[in-house]
Structure 1
Amino acid sequence: MFKFNKMMKLILFNLMMIFNLQFKNFKFFSTNYLIIIMLINMLLFNFNKKFNNIFYFYSMDYISFYLIMLTNWILMLSILSNFIKLKLNMMKLFMMTMLIMNFFLNMFFMSMNLYMFYIYFEITLIPILFLIMGWGNQINRIQATMYMLFYTLFGSFPLFFFINYIYINFNSSSMFMNFLFNYNLNVNLLIYLMMLMAFLIKMPMYFMHLWLPKAHVEAPISGSMILAGIMLKLGSYGILRLIFNFSLLKFNNYFLILSMMGSLYASLVCLNQIDMKIIVAYSSIVHMSMMLSSLMTLNMWMLKSSMILMLAHGLCASSMFFNVNLIYERTQSRNMMINKGLINISPILSMMWFLTYANNFSSPPSLNLISEIFLINSLMIWSKMISMILITIMFLNTCFSIYIYSKTQHGNININMNNFNFINIREIYINFMHWIPLNIMFLMINLI
């Protein structure tokens, strides 16, 4: 008797839910669908094995499992954050876009074939372009989508040629053949750039980051949450899968220094901005550049630090963008010179801002703290000479987090804030659904 394997059941369930959008109660559907997906993932995953259901195209290990959980969690919260403001005739189109994106992202994290990996890496760009173009508020969204499209395409074509090169020379496109590539791949600078350029742009590495602030500023809140919480993790996940050759270290050293300096420059840029969304976008560049530096060291601390930082940054950055959007919806401005004294108007909103931005500069007991401790270990093993750069980046990270919090929550109240709407239970729920796993997973760090 023919039996579907567990992985195929999960894929078919995703597809079934995408094409079954004839529900009358969209709110029930949006809040419960992704929770069901997460529960199914947890039930199907076998924690006693390194890989769960190994096949040629799809499989799942610990890295894939936690990133799929993060994807479903952030997508559920992003649907809730943007859902109330949609017109009735746009609800079905929005839900279809989000569910297709969820399917593509899940397939990307489960892909164990390099060609399937590349296809899902590229195709996830289409739903986020629809989100920015369809639900963005300003005319500059066209320029932002063009930046994102051409930056990503420019980096991804060399990756496609690299995958073809691997297939022609080794007659395999499976990621499980990494041990073969490790000893037989003749690495030069051209092959190195072909392999990593797409992921360096997607993370993004500093000097290749100009598309990110533009995309964040023009995107709706659901688009910003997905970009910061999930899409940036595609680059780091790809580097984790493909950096397998220790002869790469001769090139990694240069990119490690570049990304460390880029993180330092991005921290200084954050202290020179007054647009809250741009500060949060550059904050993502700071953290992802530090994670890239850790990835380039190729030691065991690198694997742990990058895995935990992906989860921590996904939850924390998504929460920061959501909090900025709460103020933008009420005052129609992201300028910190206009939004002042909010602690006098809504203390509970100010408390949620404090909890979020305290996590951003690695206060205990958040995942950010553990991830940065591991990250510092991996970089200090590589070289103790960069300790002063690390200390400076940590200090500036704390400075701009306190800067954005104190500028918005303290000071004289703007006279135009007399009609400031109070925060509702949905917004409190979304905030705490970011904050609770970010701090509770601190107690379950042995599972990662």
Structure 2
Amino acid sequence: MGLLSLAIWLPVAFGVLLLGLGRDSQAGMVRWIALVGAILSFAVTIPLYTGFDAGTSAMQFVESLMWIERFNVRYHLGVDGISVWFVLLTAFITIIVVIAGWEVITERTNQYMGAFLILSGLMVGVFSALDGLLFYVFFEATLIPMYIIIGVWGGPRRVYAAFKFFLYTLLGSLLMLVALIYLYYKSNYSFDILTWHRLPLPLDAQMLLFGAFFMAFAVKVPMWPVHTWLPDAHVEAPTGGSVVLAAIMLKLGAYGFLRFSMPIAPDATRELDWLVIGLSLVAVVYIGLVALVQQDMKKLVAYSSVAHMGFVTLGFFLFNELGVSGAIVQMISHGFVSGAMFLCIGVLYDRMHSRQIGDYGGVVNTMPKFAAFALLFSMANAGLPGTAGFVGEWMVILGTVQVNFWLGAIAATALVFGASYTLWMYKRVYFGPVTNDNVRTLTDINAREFLMLAVLAVAVLWMGVYPKPFTDVMHHSVTDLLRHVAVSKLQ
């Protein structure tokens, strides 16, 4: 068992162990076991970075075993400069989520913590699978723990939100399964994704494959107009569910474009780039305007996520290194920033049991430490230079300007809208005099809350000030992907 297998199955094993501890009287022990499991799972991913050779685009830490011999299905794992970051991000966010639910979850604590650890392992499996069927199994299996998390620990409309989340993402993935089966037969009965990258497919077949993959991954991102499940899921999910949903699960769809759509159907990708760029710009501009009128903090940040992920899909289909690298950086930074934003909303909700912006005001007077953290994360969400939220968006805007100045100008309006809705929310919630007796009695963050916010604050500032380690690792994988798409077009 290699490092990637450990990164997948160690959290799953801890999750299954926690499911066996069935009494709430054991909640204290459950929390510590969950924390140990999350920390160990993160620890085994660190050598993936320290031992990574950034000078090559080849897959590294590869594991390959026969799984289903009759159909030539292999348990095939590996990471390159693109996927390695998401393995680390998944394990890192899982620690934050365990700490976030430490005092808040008092019922079925073992099932709550177990679901997140199992989900963490499955998501690592998505990012490291090199066998098409194995990818599909992990991709679909992630729906089950998140469905349970929303449906059991969510808000008043949790069952509706959980069903909507499950049906949207499941139906979107069914066409992908058809595409995988087609590729299996075209590649002489192989599910090897790297083999599929080299298949000489005619344009009409590529167009159909691109459409099938697009339906699966666009829903997961989510792209406009198939984004409507996300605000409902975020609003009803518990804080930890919103953090994982925004920080990791949205990235599964974006990652699918890089691993399947672009390298397997490169000619179709070139032919349909206008469609994806158009939908991405709609998400960036229109959804930014939608976020401006929200009265629920969670819904505002949920729409903000759709707009920020619009930058990701925009960057992918520019076909230049600035755009693609910027989009990947944006995916990582969005994991830190959006996760922190939802944690801040969770801190307030735990005290006030309200997410309505109008119910707050003057929080800085009673929670000054917390307000300082919230200000940093709000500035990062608005794309302030020096924070993680700026780097990826700026790279994508520069990449867009290289393709077309006016498209770049439209994309840049997102920074204006992002600043508008984020600062508007911060002003109404945190600034001004205390006008609400409930706000007047608020207590500032405790040591546990300070720790999880401080760790994310360090990550946001580190990535904003010094993004070089991230771009260096992904450089060769990105250039190799772009070369593959360009060469295919010339042929």
Whether TM exceeds 0.5 here: the answer is yes
What's 2:165 paired with? 148
Q: CA deviation at 1:173?
A: 2.0
Q: Is 1:169 the equivalent of 2:186?
A: yes
Task: Give the structure 2 partner of residue 344 of structure 1.
Answer: 365
Shift of 1:37: 1.8
> Residue 272 of structure 2: SS of its match in structure 1?
helix
- CA deviations over 1:145-165 (Å, ceiling 9, x no partner): 121111112211111101111
C-alpha change, 1:407 and 1:146, in structure 2 (3 Å) is same
Q: How do 1:326-405 and structure 2 match up within 5 A?
A: 326-405=347-426
Q: Partner of 2:111 in structure 1?
A: 93
Q: Which residue of 1 aligns with 2:457?
A: 435
Which residue is 1:73 aligned to?
A: 92
Of 296-305 and 286-295, deviating more is 296-305
Q: Which amino acid aligns with 1:433?
A: V
> Mean alpha-carbon deviation: is it higher for 209-218 or for 385-394?
385-394
Unmatched 5+ stretches in structure 2: 65-73, 472-491
Question: Cα deviations across residues 270-295 of structure 1 (Å, max 9, x unaligned)?
Answer: 11111111110000000001211111
For residue 428 of structure 1, give the secondary structure of its aligned residue in structure 2: helix
Q: Residue 40 of structure 1 corresponds to which residue in structure 2?
A: 44
Q: CA 1:73 to 1:5, structure 2 compared with 1: closer, same or farther past 3 Å?
A: closer
What's the offset of the Cα at 1:414? 2.7
Number of the residue aligned with 2:446: 424
How does 1:44-55 map onto structure 2 within 5 Å? 44=48, 46-48=51-53, 50-54=58-62, 55=64
* TM alignment of 1:207-356, pairs within 5 A: 207-242=225-260, 243-244=262-263, 245-356=266-377
In 2, Cα distance between equivalents of 1:392 and 1:15: 42
The alignment-based identity, stated in percent, is 26
Amino acid at match of 1:43: P
Other structure's SS at 1:422 match: coil
Residue identity in the other structure for 1:170: S
| Range moving further from structure 2, 57-66 or 101-110 | 57-66
Secondary structure, in 3 states, of the residue corresponding to 1:205?
coil
TM-score (norm: length of structure 2): 0.85
Cα deviation per residue 1:101-150 (whole Å; 9 max; x = unaligned)?
11111111110111111111111010001001111131x11111121111
Moved more, 322-331 or 297-306: 297-306
- Are positions 1:61 and 2:77 aligned together? no
Aligned-partner Cα distance in 2 for 1:438–1:178: 37
Does the CA-based 8 Å contact 1:155-1:201 persist in structure 2?
A: yes
Please state how far the C-alpha of 1:20 moved relative to its aligned partner: 3.7
Kept in 1: contact 2:123–2:138 (CA 8 A): yes
1:186-228 deviation per Cα after TM superposition (whole angstroms, max 9, x unaligned): 4464332112111100000011111000000100011111111
* TM-score in terms of structure 1 length: 0.93
> CA 1:112–1:337 in 2, change beyond 3 Å: closer, same or farther?
same
Mapped partners of 1:69, 1:391: distance in 2: 30
- 1:12–1:223 Cα change, 3 Å: closer
Change (3 A) 1:222 1:14: closer
Q: Distance between the aligned counterparts of 1:44 and 1:73, measured in 2?
A: 13
**Is residue 104–residue 123 contact of structure 1 (8 Å, CA) maintained in 2?**
yes
TM-aligned CA distance change 1:84 to 1:294, over 3 Å? same
Cα distance, 1:368 vs structure 2: 2.1
What is the CA RMSD across the aligned residues, in angstroms?
2.0
Equivalent position amino acid for 2:195 in 1: M
**What residue identity is the alignment partner of 2:466?**
L
Q: Structure 1 pair 385/415, CA: closer, same or farther in 2 (3 Å)? A: closer
Amino acid of the residue matched to residue 332 of structure 2?
L
Deviates most, 77-86 or 233-242: 77-86
